[in-house]
């Protein structure tokens, strides 16, 4: 299903099944009160069309009060791709609000891959099969950087499935071969509940990350509550977070990049 256009569009009370992604671009669009199941791609994907086309910039699109189950990629995604030449416009103003993601069989429950002024609030994720409950960063080597995003009030159950090093929430940056080798991933997480991650509750890796974590609850992760791996650069402002029900020998916060990733709070 493909919705795009320069003007506003509305999808309301739509049920899709056994399709590829609900692919959402353009300006001022709204997808609400809908559901999708058993897809071959993302459930709902806000994007910039992966093109220079001004009608597909991905500006101020809202995905609200939808249900996705058994998706073949991310259940709900924000995706800003610069293109091989870096000429596609930056997606901005995306809102992913009050949605439910159940049992995606591939990728993540929620994903933010680049963009500016992204809001991901009050969503529920449960029973992720392969990847993280929430992945925050960019899309491959041609993704626009994540300039700013707010993630708040979400309930993230599980995460960290069988697909390699995945966790409850993963925060990362562009790779060294990206179009934006100096860009940082900038994100604020507040008042989220992360429960039962199969590895770390929050995992920060690769290089350039500026993360603010405030008043989040991480409950019963299989490994660390918060883990910053070796080689990460940037800053972390961590205040008022709660890590509980750790397993024996695990750390509430482990920073393997203490000399390059400075935590305050």
Q: For tokens 């791996």, what's the residue? A: 229
What does the pLDDT average to over 85-101? 97
* Structure confidence at residue 140 (pLDDT): 87
Cα distances from 25 to residues 30, 91, 210, in angstroms, run 10, 9, 28
* Structure confidence at residue 75 (pLDDT): 98
Rounded to whole angstroms, how far apart are CA atoms 121 and 154? 6
Q: Does the global pTM surpass 0.75? A: yes
Range in 60-64, 82-86, 124-128 with the lowest mean pLDDT: 82-86
How does residue 4 score in pLDDT terms, banded at 50, 70 and 90? Answer: confident
How does residue 143 score in pLDDT terms, banded at 50, 70 and 90? Answer: very high
Rounded to whole angstroms, how far apart are CA atoms 117 and 53? 21
**Total domains, the chain:** 1
Rounded to whole angstroms, how far apart are CA atoms 85 and 108? 27
* Structure confidence at residue 239 (pLDDT): 98
* Structure confidence at residue 248 (pLDDT): 97
Backbone angles phi, psi at 132, to 5 degrees: -95, 160
Query: H or E element: which one contains 68?
Result: strand 67-69
How does residue 141 score in pLDDT terms, banded at 50, 70 and 90? Answer: confident
Task: Flag whether pLDDT at 177 surpasses 90.
Answer: no
Task: Flag whether pLDDT at 7 surpasses 80.
Answer: no
How does residue 164 score in pLDDT terms, banded at 50, 70 and 90? Answer: confident
Q: Look up the CATH number of the domain holding residue 254.
A: 2.160.20.10
The closest alpha carbon to 77, from 59, 56, 96, belongs to 96
* Structure confidence at residue 23 (pLDDT): 94
* Structure confidence at residue 3 (pLDDT): 84
Task: Flag whether pLDDT at 157 surpasses 90.
Answer: yes
Cα distances from 171 to residues 25, 63, 104, 166, 219, in angstroms, run 24, 22, 19, 10, 18
96 bridge partner residues = 63, 120
Domain extent at residue 181: 2-264
Rounded to whole angstroms, how far apart are CA atoms 244 and 247? 9
N- to C-terminal Cα distance for the chain?
45
Maximum distance among all alpha carbons in the chain?
55
b or e along 220-248 (b: 16 or more beta carbons within 10 Å of the residue's beta carbon)?
Answer: ebbbbbbbbbeebbbebebeebebeebee
Q: Name the average pLDDT for the chain.
A: 95
* Structure confidence at residue 47 (pLDDT): 96
Task: Flag whether pLDDT at 174 surpasses 90.
Answer: no
How does residue 54 score in pLDDT terms, banded at 50, 70 and 90? Answer: confident
Higher pLDDT, 163 or 119: 119
Provide, rounded to the nearest whole percent, the portion of the chain with pLDDT above 70: 98
Task: Flag whether pLDDT at 201 surpasses 80.
Answer: yes
Range in 75-79, 139-143, 212-216, 237-241 with the lowest mean pLDDT: 139-143
29 bridge partner residues = none
Contact 71, 104 (CB under 8 A): yes
Task: Flag whether pLDDT at 255 surpasses 80.
Answer: yes
DSSP H helical ranges for the chain: none
User: What would the two tokens of residue 6 be?
Assistant: 């320069």
Contact 146, 121 (CB under 8 A): no
């Amino acid at each position: 299903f493909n919705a795009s256009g320069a003007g506003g569009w509305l999808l309301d009370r739509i049920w899709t099944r056994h399709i590829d992604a609900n692919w959402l671009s353009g300006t001022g669009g709204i997808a609400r009160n809908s559901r999708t199941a058993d897809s071959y791609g993302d459930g709902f994907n806000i994007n910039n069309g992966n093109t220079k086309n001004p009608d597909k910039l991905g500006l101020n699109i809202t995905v609200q009060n939808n249900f996705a189950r058994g998706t073949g990629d991310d259940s709900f995604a924000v995706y800003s791709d610069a293109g091989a030449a870096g000429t596609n416009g930056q997606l901005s103003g995306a809102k992913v609000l009050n949605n439910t993601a159940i049992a995606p069989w591939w990728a993540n429950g929620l994903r933010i891959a680049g963009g500016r002024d992204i809001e991901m609030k009050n969503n529920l994720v449960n029973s992720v099969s392969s990847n993280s409950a929430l992945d925050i960063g960019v899309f491959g080597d041609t993704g626009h950087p994540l300039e700013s995003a707010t993630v708040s009030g979400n309930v993230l159950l599980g995460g960290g499935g069988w697909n390699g090093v995945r966790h409850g929430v993963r925060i990362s940056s562009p790779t060294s071969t990206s179009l934006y080798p100096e860009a940082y991933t900038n994100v604020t997480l507040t008042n989220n509940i992360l429960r039962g991650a199969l590895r770390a509750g929050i995992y920060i890796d690769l290089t350039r990350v500026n993360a603010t974590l405030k008043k989040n609850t991480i409950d019963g992760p299989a490994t660390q509550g918060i883990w910053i791996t070796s080689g990460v650069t940037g800053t972390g402002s961590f205040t008022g977070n709660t890590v509980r029900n750790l397993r024996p020998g695990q750390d509430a916060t482990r920073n393997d990049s203490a000399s390059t990733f400075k935590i305050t709070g």
